Chain A
Amino acid sequence: MFKNEELEINLGPQHPSTHGVLRVKLRLDGETVKHCYPVIGYLHRGVEKICENKTFFQGQVWTDRMDYVAAVSNNLGWAEAVEKLLGITVPRRARYIRTLLTELNRISSHLLWLGTHAMDIGAMTVFLYAFREREEILDIFEAFCGARLTTTAFRIGGLRDDLPPGFEAKVRAFLDRFLPCIDEYEDLLTENRIWKKRTIGVAPLSAEDCIAMGVTGPVLRAAGVAYDIRKAFPYAAYDEMQFDVPTRMEADTYARYQVRLEEMRQSHRIVQQCIDGLPEGAVMAKLPKILKSDVGEVYHAIEAPKGELGYYLVGEKGGANPYRFHVRGPSFVNLQALPMMTEGKLLADVIAAIGTLDVVLGEVDR
């Protein structure tokens, strides 16, 4: 009669809060998670292999579709990796505009994270408030490159076009409005006792564990490691920017929430500097008609909103496309830590943990 049975449930791939098609196999003892096993691959398209068959120019559109909420960051990584392989120098104005758009994209990605994470924990309204601001950023992207999500924003060697007329005014209007909006989210969440209870001490991942699992990004910084590629190995125009790398020591969900909010403020700072100090000049480097690589390999990592986004490219002699292409996606690597964060905790914490890792399944599965 008193049989002690464990309940095995599938969280996903169709579930309101697995952010796409993540499937998590859970073995539950009551509400306690005994075993957690993420199953991925439902969105696999073989982006790496496809890109090996596309030219360097064409490859960029596939990076849009990996981490689709941070497409500009992905574009930047691809463009810079290829430029590194081909030895192209990008004009300074182009680098500034790239930095500007990438930071706006970081804000938009963090806003999406904040909205969905809060929604998972039950606070509905933050989602809509966050999307209100995200909408404006997407409008800015639309004004710049014509698309809102799959931007294909940059070109190898610079940018396709200069900023459209009225772009600066738009960005400045957004910047003026944005900081009070962060305060609004904080009003709803930061002090709230339920939010604190749901996040403080939930899904902890110490610095040692983070490093052992290869976890990067806000999750790592919330564990007290001030590792930010923008500071460590500056790319684009980050070496000319003033900004801080926010860290927390608590290594829990609440710390990650604080780190990301602070990162949004820092991104706001960087965008402000970019728009104020925008240099004049060309936006496109002089390029040969057809891009041909030489023998060589590069690894170029950027700080995507979710962590270290690395592109590994191998070039062959006279090749118009990469011989080998590999992506080190932050979502994929971060997702590894999910079992470590949730085993022995409660079911509701799994939801919080998935939210706090900020995974995008397009990038996990690639």
Chain B
Amino acid sequence: MSLLKTLIPFDIAKGLALTGRYFGRNFFSANRKKVRANLKHITVEYPEVPIHLAPRYRGRLQMLRDEQGEIKCICCLACERICPTQVITIEKGRKEGRKLPYPVRYTFEMERCIFCEFCVEACGYDSIVLNHQFELATYNREDFAHGTEGEFQNMFKPTPVGTFSVAGEDDANAPHY
């Protein structure tokens, strides 16, 4: 019996049958309108097909403005203090017609950020969020510097914050991609 087992490679045939089955199934049915559960193929054709991020996804740090367009941040420095990698630097200042302190400079050095969301957790005024941007690579180190003033106005870039705040039932039940 064991001699027969050695001579006839059933074990290898079993593996080949599995991979062959996958190949056949994918070859004859794989196309773009796949559903993940059917296991056609799991590749996401990324730049063309958008990726479905979870509502809690932690992307780039973004500052928020209130309804009047004012920066919500009031320079309590909680985020600066809690940040484990010290990437946030805030310069406190005053602005005409604003009672609360105003961040003259809010520098966020993204190249060292570890996206832990502690800053958002520490913020008592909901003035910052981690948005859903994840395409953060750039060619220059300088592009990683984010701020509120002058040439660094990129802390307010329009981002899909809406999906962040409304984590609906639908959102969570949708297929993965």
So, do A and B actually touch in the complex, CB under 8 Å?
Answer: yes
- Chain A residues with a Cβ under 8 A of chain B: 54, 57-58, 61-62, 65, 125, 132, 135-136, 139, 142-147, 150, 152, 160-161, 164-167, 169-170, 173, 177, 184, 187-189, 191-194
Which of chain B's residues have a CB closer than 8 A to the CB of A188?
15, 18-19
Which of chain B's residues have a CB closer than 8 A to the CB of A164?
54-56, 167, 172
B54 & A139 in contact (Cβ 8 Å cutoff): yes
Asked if B144 is at the interface of the complex by the 8 Å CB criterion, the answer is no
Q: Knowing A135-B42, A187-B18, A193-B12, say if A61 contacts B114 (CB, 8 Å).
A: yes
A-contacting 9-mer, from B88-96, B115-123, B149-157: B115-123
Asked if B9 is at the interface of the complex by the 8 Å CB criterion, the answer is yes
Query: Complex Cα distance A195/B121, Å?
Result: 49
Ordered by A's residue number, 26 sampled pairs between the chains whose C-beta atoms are within 8 Å are A58-B82, A58-B118, A61-B85, A61-B118, A62-B84, A132-B39, A143-B54, A143-B55, A146-B54, A146-B56, A146-B57, A152-B117, A164-B55, A165-B172, A166-B172, A166-B173, A169-B172, A169-B173, A173-B37, A184-B18, A187-B14, A188-B19, A189-B15, A191-B11, A192-B12, A192-B15
B116 & A152 in contact (Cβ 8 Å cutoff): yes
- Chain B residues with a Cβ under 8 A of chain A: 6, 9-12, 14-15, 17-19, 37, 39, 42, 53-58, 82, 84-85, 114-118, 121, 130, 167-169, 171-173, 176
Query: Complex Cα distance A61/B18, Å?
Result: 41
Query: Complex Cα distance A51/B64, Å?
Result: 31
Which of chain A's residues have a CB closer than 8 A to the CB of B15?
187-189, 192
Query: Complex Cα distance A152/B116, Å?
Result: 7
B169 & A166 in contact (Cβ 8 Å cutoff): yes
Query: Complex Cα distance A184/B21, Å?
Result: 12
B54 & A142 in contact (Cβ 8 Å cutoff): yes
